[in-house]
Amino acid sequence: MTEDRNRLGEETSPYLLQHKDNPVHWRAWSAETLALAKERGKPILLSSGYAACHWCHVMAAESFANEAIAALMNQNFVNVKVDREERPDIDHLYQQALQLTGRRGGWPLTMFLTPEGEPFWGGTYFPPEPRYGMPGFADILKAVAELWREKPEVVTRNVTAIGDGLNRLAETAPAEPISPELVETIGEKLDGYIDRVHGGVGGAPKFPQAASLEFLWRAWKRTGRASYREAALTTLDHICQGGIYDHLGGGFARYSTDERWLVPHFEKMLYDNAQLVDLLTLVWQEEKKPLYAARIEETIQWALREMRLSEGVFASSLDADSEHEEGKFYVWTAAEIDAVLGDRAAAFRAVYDIEDGGNWEGKSIPNRLRGMDLLAAEEETALAADRSRLMTARAARVRPGRDDKALADWNGLMIAAIATAAQVFERRDWLAAATAAFDFIAAQMTTADGRLLHSYGAGRAKHMAVLDDYADLARAALALHEATGETRFLERCRDWVEIVETHYRDMRTGGYFFTADDAEALIRRAKIAEDAPLPSGNGAMTQVLAQLYHLTGEERYRARAESVLAAFAGVARRGLLGYSTLLNGAETLRDGLQIVIIGERDAPDTEALLHVVHHASLPGRTLAVVAPGAGLPSAHLAAGKTQIDGKAAAYVCRGATCSLPIVEAEMLARELRA
């Protein structure tokens, strides 16, 4: 008989280790755990969450540390704890299952499964006793245990209904291609959901939704429709000036609990910050707003200072709580500001909305929502000094916990964002940091046969990669190839794309599965095209394939991208919203601009042309810098193009044609504006 005890102390996930001292006999998800449930004939209680999750902490303190509740769990269930970031395959599957029961998903996720892993009931957070109109967790445990023992026919009926629903969700069917007209219809619909006063989609709570904002930005660049531009700028202005942004230390919180972007849910996730840096860089290239440049620099510096691990990769998140109180690390009283800043306090408080009575629960969240623009340079310099003094004072507080595991896909997003910003703002130090993170993953989170692993922590890489890992890191490889010209990045991208084609492709109906064909078998293999807080893997892969096609001219990449788009055309048409990454990939494939510069990368004439490209907002464009005599692939539109009279020359290609050679920076700027 297997010993009954809490086994999470054997794990590397910071979230699982948070629960290693619970009286619950927790186990990690494994084939051994499922076999134990079958041997004992007990249902599985699956609890999924993550280290920065406030309500996960609450349920842990209220229920999982409660001896009486733990006894009920241990007596009636095989209890499984899942870090949803470490095992997104498991979490996504059972989040879908919960939603099929008519309940909203979220964390902590609480699901009850058969020993075979089939879900039959679930929810999210439950209080220990009835509260907030919710049943108590102890009562739920008793009721589900009784249901399992006394009413197996109900369990079977639920399993069948949920299983049928999961099967339907996994199906894709051929449909009319994603047409330019459909993309415009979706753009108009999304534009109609934008809050014109505060920005963002709908009312509270508000999430940044970077992919949707990029979709609107692309729509403006494509159509010239002013409302699209206004939607993106209004949203970004309020996000950058609101309390969702940490005005002292940099970095964005996960979402705002109110419509004004004032009160954040204070956790900071690597993926949100990566996507916002990327989007702000794209928009800055057009608008040149000092506010956006400041937030890009501050957020990258935050990532390098607070999120970079000793290995060079980036940690996953910072907790919302410190000392068991959400936001305590970040908020201030007026008296605290006065004590630190002295005669500068009044000026700082006026700009950052620090009131005597506070702006949230008696304290103040620093924000600049009273004005969307930065002040004069002299005033901003003084405010920067104020912030530095407050940062020093804040450093003495108990810091929120950091989830130190590195995830391949989230790192891919941040590497790509930093590499792109490094080119635009000419920061070699940023490029070096992005390269170091990429090189660590390529060396230490990769198996001997070139397969990626998803998670790294405590000196160990583990768990077979999901589609998002390959897609986001392939995109990072393309960004580094563009920034450095090193072919090793392009070759790594091509290798990963072939692994995806071999192990993730749905050969029957197209598109890519979330998990590999030789990964641990779950009850279903999901195919995901809809964006969540993270861009969908199928959408990101479409963009990677489109860029590879434009870079190389190789038809196989175009065909694969079109196959993905065809597989999800039906769901995108029905869903309309939520498929921005996929639709952005469709536009890149159809209309992507290709810019080729023939010249020595570090030569002044090449750098002058590059400066123009880096200061133009051209969503979905590809850029290649080719040394004289090196040549492009024979299938590329610009194959055979050369320098002109020994000068670096740019060629701008779209569709089946390329421009005449351009050697003057101003002429290139005019061509790109056109």
CATH number at residue 119: 3.40.30.10
Rounded Cα distance between 357 and 608, Å, is 53
Residue 210 lies in a domain: yes
Domain with 250 in it: what CATH number? 1.50.10.10
Residue 210 belongs to domain spanning: 180-322+403-591
460 burial type by CB count under 10 A (0-12 exposed, 13-18 middle, 19+ buried): exposed
Given 141, 170, 199, which residue is the final one in a domain?
A: 170
Is there a single domain that holds both residue 390 and residue 412? no
Is there a single domain that holds both residue 239 and residue 345? no
Residue 533 lies in a domain: yes
Tell whether the model's pLDDT for residue 1 goes beyond 80: no
Average pLDDT over residues 262-278: 97
Residue pair 247/368 in contact by the 8 Å Cβ criterion: yes
Residue pair 363/374 in contact by the 8 Å Cβ criterion: no
Given 377, 396, 415, which residue is the final one in a domain?
A: 396
Average pLDDT over residues 272-298: 98
Average pLDDT over residues 545-557: 96
Average pLDDT over residues 238-248: 98
Residue 1 lies in a domain: no
What is the pLDDT of the chain when averaged over all its residues? 96
Rounded Cα distance between 96 and 86, Å, is 18
Is there a single domain that holds both residue 566 and residue 547? yes
Cβ atoms < 10 Å from Cβ of 464: 17
Q: What is the pLDDT of residues 170-203, one digit of tens each?
A: 788 778 889 999 999 999 999 999 999 999 998 9
State the distance between the two ends of the chain, measured CA to CA, in whole angstroms.
74
Residue 88 lies in a domain: yes
Residue 3 lies in a domain: no
Domain with 600 in it: what CATH number? 3.40.30
Is there a single domain that holds both residue 606 and residue 636? yes
Is there a single domain that holds both residue 421 and residue 276? yes
Residue pair 357/337 in contact by the 8 Å Cβ criterion: no
Q: Cβ contacts of residue 38 below 8 Å, gap of 6+?
A: 115, 116
Is there a single domain that holds both residue 519 and residue 431? yes
Is there a single domain that holds both residue 656 and residue 581? no
Given 136, 170, 204, which residue is the final one in a domain?
A: 170
| DSSP conformational letter for 60 | I
Average pLDDT over residues 138-158: 97
Tell whether the model's pLDDT for residue 655 goes beyond 90: no
Name the token pair of 84. 């949803």
Is there a single domain that holds both residue 424 and residue 301? yes
Residue 175 lies in a domain: no
The gap from C-alpha 360 to its chain's centroid, in whole angstroms, comes to 28
Q: Say what percent of the chain tops pLDDT 90.
A: 93
Q: Say what percent of the chain tops pLDDT 70.
A: 100
3-state secondary structure 296-353: HHHHHHHHHHHHECCCCCECCEECCEECCEECCCCCECHHHHHHHHHHHHHHHHHHHC
- pLDDT-based confidence at residue 309 (cuts at 50, 70, 90): very high
The gap from C-alpha 157 to its chain's centroid, in whole angstroms, comes to 36
- pLDDT-based confidence at residue 147 (cuts at 50, 70, 90): very high
Higher-pLDDT residue of 577 and 15 is 15
Q: What is the pLDDT of residue 168?
A: 86
Is there a single domain that holds both residue 107 and residue 92? yes
What pTM was estimated for this model as a whole?
A: 0.96
38 burial type by CB count under 10 A (0-12 exposed, 13-18 middle, 19+ buried): middle
Query: How many degrees, rounded to 5, is the angle at CA 209 between CA 204 and CA 212?
Result: 120
Residue 76 lies in a domain: yes
Rounded Cα distance between 323 and 400, Å, is 8
Q: What is the pLDDT of residue 486?
A: 96
Tell whether the model's pLDDT for residue 360 goes beyond 60: yes
Q: What is the pLDDT of residues 49-67, one digit of tens each?
A: 999 999 999 999 999 999 9
